[in-house]
Amino acid sequence: MNENENLDDSTNIEFKWLYCPICGTKIPQIKNIIYCIKCGVDLQYINTHMRMPSRKNIRYLGSPEAFSQQNFYLSNKPLRKKLSEEELLNLEDQKLWGSFASIGITAAAYVLMNFVEVLVIVIFILFTFNLESVLEFLVNPYFIIGISFVELIFILVPTLYVGKYLQRPTLNNRLILLGFTKKGFDKTKLIKEILIGLGFAVVGVTLVLSISFLMEIILSLIFGYETIQDLFGTAGEVDTMIASADILSIFLLTIIMILIIGTTEEVLFRGFLQKGLVRSLGKSWGIVITALIFSSIHLIGIFTSLGSPIIFIISFLFNFFPFFAISLLLGLLFNWRKENLIAVMITHGVYNALTIILAFIVFNFI
């Protein structure tokens, strides 16, 4: 029998506060608690006399009384539930990682990916010592193809993290937890997910083109037609890359967008970030905040580029709403497909591929 069960029922009193008045530690909601589990002060003495007890009524963490109480508290403290393989197929009601982990791990993956990219560029600079060659190298489509493999970090980081939520943290179970699986899908259902992904990719391209066209009209009315045309007439890095691309590089970029970019970004942003935020903030806020983070990360270049405030505002508004719209579409699709990434990854990858193909056609044939 636990020592605390021998205490008189008179010790089951209601405290006047939720936190220890000495160290600020939250008081556990358990029966017969006497001493603070952190500082060892006699909580019942303070509650009754409204003053600090004498030293003899303080049980420090190493004392038998405090040690016994801590053991009682720890033994009754709920542990994180680890998911079985059967539970992985029905995660809707399962409590997973919270908002802090969702955003923190996503940020860590993004920072690590950029660190590796910068490291590659620095190594290239050390071998060339030619700024013009470096700039040409950065917009070369074959460099973009090669550096895209760094985005595999977007799968690696969350895959390593989610192992703590699994009874059997195998690679397969980790990927299932993130939604990157075809488990539970027969051939017919798998084909259905693929077709849904292809259909929503076309919807995404149409949606983004429509919003971009609408934003150009609105910004022209606000800032003037000539200002907008001068800004959009300046070739950016993507324009330069597309203009210098050949058929082979466009084909390889298309494959990379479908197999690497769409897959890795959806595992991180929908399979990990949105899945955690939805459980801690609710579906609506989880989807919206994921879309905001996704959009902001893709607009980092605008925040770091030098230019006038007007150019920054125009560039931000013109690019933000299309990114936000496609991210909302992906988030809603992920929720509709019961947090399975098959259709979502295909939508994202094919959307990116179609965007590149259309841009290549416009630059070279229109």
The amino acid occupying position 9 is D
Enter the tokens of residue 216.
Answer: 């150009």
Cβ atoms of residues 352 and 205 within 8 Å: no
pLDDT by residue (tens digit) across 341-365?
999 999 999 999 999 999 888 888 7
Is it the case that residue 307 has pLDDT exceeding 50?
A: yes
C-alpha 25/C-alpha 61 separation (Å) is 14
Query: Cα separation of 142 and 249, whole Å?
Result: 6
Mean pLDDT rounded to a whole number for the chain: 83
Average pLDDT over residues 189-194: 94
Tell me how crowded residue 211 is: count the other CB atoms within 10 A of its CB.
Answer: 17
* 3-state SS class at 14: coil
Place of tokens 């109480």: 69
Rounded-to-integer distance, Cα 92 and Cα 121, Å: 42
Q: Which residue did the predictor score with more confidence, 120 or 184?
A: 120
- The DSSP secondary-structure symbol of 149 reads G
Average pLDDT on 80-93 reads 81
Tens of pLDDT along 329-345? 999 999 999 999 999 99
CB-CB contact of 67 with 237 (8 Å): no
Considering the chain, what percentage of its residues have pLDDT values greater than 90?
48
Q: What is the pTM of this model?
A: 0.76
Backbone angles phi, psi at 245, to 5 degrees: -80, 150
Asked if residue 271 has pLDDT above 90, the reply is: yes
- Give the pLDDT confidence score for residue 128 in this predicted structure: 73
| pLDDT for residue 123 | 84
**Predicted pLDDT at 32:** 67
The two tokens of residue 126 are 């050390």
Say if residue 275's pLDDT is above 70. yes
pLDDT digits (tens, 9 = 90+) for 6-26: 434 444 567 766 778 777 677
Confidence of residue 50 (pLDDT cuts 50, 70, 90): confident
Q: Looking at residue 34, what DSSP letter applies?
A: -
Average pLDDT value for residue range 201-223? 93
Strand-pairing partners, residue 83, are 166
Q: Token digits for 350?
A: 């094919």
80 pLDDT band, cuts 50/70/90, is low
Taking only the tens place, the pLDDT of each residue in 226-237 is 777 777 665 566
pLDDT score, position 136: 75
